[in-house]
Structure 1
Amino acid sequence: MTPRSHQIQEIHKMLGQLFIFLFLISPSHSCLLSDKKAEETLVPYGEPFFVRCPLEPPKSNNSYNITWFINGSNTEISTNLQARIHQNSNYLKFFPARLEDSGFYLCVYRDTKECRQEVLEVNVFQNDNGLCYKEEALYTYRHFRDKSLVIECPFVTEYVDAATAQFHWFKECQPLNMTTDKYLITNQLLSITDVIPQDNGHYTCVTSFIHNGTNYNISRSIANTIQELPLTANLKPNILYPTDNFIDAELGTSVTVTCAALLSRNLDLIWRYNDSFISDYSDDGRVIDGILQYEAVKDGEKVECRNITFSSVKEEDYGLRFYCYADSISAYSQAFFILKRPGPNLQGLLIAIFVTAAFLIISTIIIIKLFKVDLVLWYRSSCFSHPHQNDGKMYDAYIMYPKNAIGNSAYDMDLFVLKLLPEVLEKQCAYKLFIFGRDDLPGQAIADLVDEAISQSRRLIIVLGQVSNESNLGVDFEQKIAMYDALIRNEIKVILIEMEKITDCTFMPESIKYIRQKQGVVRWKGTFTEASLSPNTRFWKNIRYRMPPAPRHSDKDLDYISTEN
């Protein structure tokens, strides 16, 4: 660069800084100015060049306007497409760029909600003396040594169609020998085979561009560096997630999936769909590719992460494979996930079933506890019951009661044992009872008679009342025989009936106390009236429950009194 050119550039920088100051204090502009440092764009002298406004909105926003200003002027840059410098949509275009174009330019963005502005620095350069490039303006490519490599002519697709344009390649400003198999040009790509260290160097690509009937050259120069592969280059990256799995996603909801891989040298994570970048998957911008993060740690090793976000899941997203590529120099790994509709929420159903089952079980237990007696009696009277009466025994119950009571107690005891028990259990329920003093015959040996009657009975009913001494319960031998069968031989079940609540158990035999404590008693609370003769009162139901099943015809053939006590 000549001293004069250098002076011109310094003057332009000073004017640009002055321009920014004047623009900020101008009352005609109230837009928010970005606090970022002015972005510098290097523009080759004598070539067309496009500068893109970085404030361009998303594709979905069509109601906006971008305006360009130059060097402190409040006058917009021309929109005339024939002008050498003009603005066209989001671009500031130079046809071609000249040294005096260097300076600061202002890009102003306005829409219905906001106004923003940003300053860009344009620096038009000339190539170094005797070279086809400028060292400070080189694009840099770094490759690890492999059998082949590809170099791209950068940032030319905005000017020409790479599929139809013709590209020429130079190395150290000398044309490449395209007659050999070492080089191959495909669109804007240069492929080099049989790579050797001598393939390092400066490469330049040149193509033609026609504007308003004028032919321009577009050139890009690249510093290509080849490095030796590290020892771990061929190791495949370890992707921790996804794991080729399905992910539940409700229609219309937002879903974020993280690709996580153990961090290795020069690892790059990329989300793709059908061999394309994920940004090309949807036109409405609802699928967003996140930025690389290095925050997670696993077993002391750093994990590299990159998110993909579906702001609103649509029907067409289901069943597709979205791949995460982990590229590490010459080796890569890939893993995918598939969005699917979530299945039915069985958790709520299972909870409902469990609660219902628990409620039914508890209710059943309570019902059985409260109505156990009624249920057993109903079952015995149903067709499912099979009473076992063929056990060879003659009596359903042997009645034992105090025979030496005096006064009203004696009268009530005799009335209950000799009148009520036979009336209900024998006449109405078809049981057969043995009552000593009623069913024995004169002249029989009492001990043998009692022993035989008890052994021929299925139950032993002991009627208790308030007694003044233990002898009042019954004759001593009768008690001993009964207790022997009930407690020792365990061949007969005992039913205790209290005519009234007994509070003083001092004179009660120990055997009776034991049975009373073990199985409880049935307490008579009724009165000696016609209602007390009904087998459907609570007292008689409890007695019938403890008795063996009665013959089934008893419930049909006998006339019950249904009045409850």
Structure 2
Amino acid sequence: MQSRMHQEKTWILFLPLTREDSGIYRCVIKNINSCHRIHVNLTVIKKYPCGVSRSSLLNLSNEYQQILYLRKDYSLICFLNFPESYVLDSIKWFKDCKEIKGERFITWETKLLVINASEEDRGNYACEARLNHTVRQITISNSISVNTTERYEYGGKVPKITYPKNNSIQVRLGSTLIVDCNITDSKENTNPRSWKVNNTLVEDYYSESKRVREGVEKWISSQQYKFYTVNITFLEVKKEDYGHPFVCHAGVSAAYIILEPPAPDFQAYFIGGFLALAGVAVSVILIYNIFKIDIVLWYRSAFPSAGTVQDRKVYDAYVLYPKLPRESRSHDMDMLVLKILPDVLERQCGYKLFILGRDDFPGQAVANVIDENIKLCRRLIMIVGPESLGFGLLKNMSEEQIALSNALIQDGMKVILIELEKIEDYTDMPESIKYIKQKHGTIQWSGNVTEESQSAKTKFWKKVRYHMPPKTYPPSSPAQLLQHTSCDDTTDKQEVSMGFVTQ
């Protein structure tokens, strides 16, 4: 049903019409000051137009009856009225199912001019046109019952206005509008033709502003009649133009148009609102991606979690790093692991780390210590350097294998991979480390490893803290919440005033 029925402004179109469309329809037109309801009783009558051969007569109704005046030139009108977005072309005329051709017949837009009408011209006429809308083309037709008479209504003196038809036009405030007045008059008539408003010529009424003007009159001629067109142009439609009739006069004949504001375009409002919301959403996503780390850290410090940790973990991270022989041991690696890492993450931020060689007891089996303590950690911090390519991590296979087995296979622990120096080629690294780099990426140490105190608010440590678990404080010890305030981002000079769920 929806594919056949279309609404456009105050029109409802049935493409095509069926018997089931009979019924009562209600049109509701609302504006700021009024609401009009119009009921239309539609009755669908079956017609039997000519077939492809056009050999049979049309079963015409009398809904459109027109008259030709004998021995006069007169035009028949094909009433095919559609909204402006529908274009009519390829108009053809038929009489008694045969296409009309000959010098006495002139087709002009939706009119058929019959020259020197005779009794033979009475009968059943049909007009057919192609209706174009977007990508769709439909063939439409209408029927006319034509009689002839000796009486000539014009007497040569009464013109006929075919448009406007005392109708209203919807037009936007501030837009430009041109309306044609189409007049059919006898050739010998000298009737004046003009547009008026408030019984005053528009040229006089708008003599100062020249905002509304009457156009130059145009016409075409036949043997008996002239077809005139005189337009009225609104350079800018203003609110004062709404509701007033603008009248086209042709002798004693007159017809008017009334300008109305268009009905609200809810579709435009909906699209505009959707685009605005989409723009806000994209902006929020971009801001979050740029300041994601700062936002998450700010959220953690502004809304610290309270309560006892329920995952039964003891340590926040297990630190895995290359164990080199004493004579080959890297001073920078030892400084980072044994001095700087504990100073920042433990002392400033309150995290608890497990470092093999520092937190285990002498005499314990190394494999058991690694296996037991890795299960008590929430993160695995893995530090690699240039020496790792040679034999660093590979020399201590037990710690690496046990730690990675628990982290990647058994517990699905998140791994934080730190490069002490930029490593361009991971070809000689174990497959497990290649996998970690591909999945989690790396954090590269920046700066020199010195005895100077490091700040948890530098870019490198913010990245590390972002990947660390959120710090949870027991609610029964509020004093402990104040012990690590130096790691909070609420004291930063550049605060991010947004809250997002942390990872």
Normalising by structure 1, we get a TM-score of 0.45
Larger Rg: 1
Bigger relative contact order, structure 1 or 2 (CA pairs below 8 A, ≥6 apart): 2
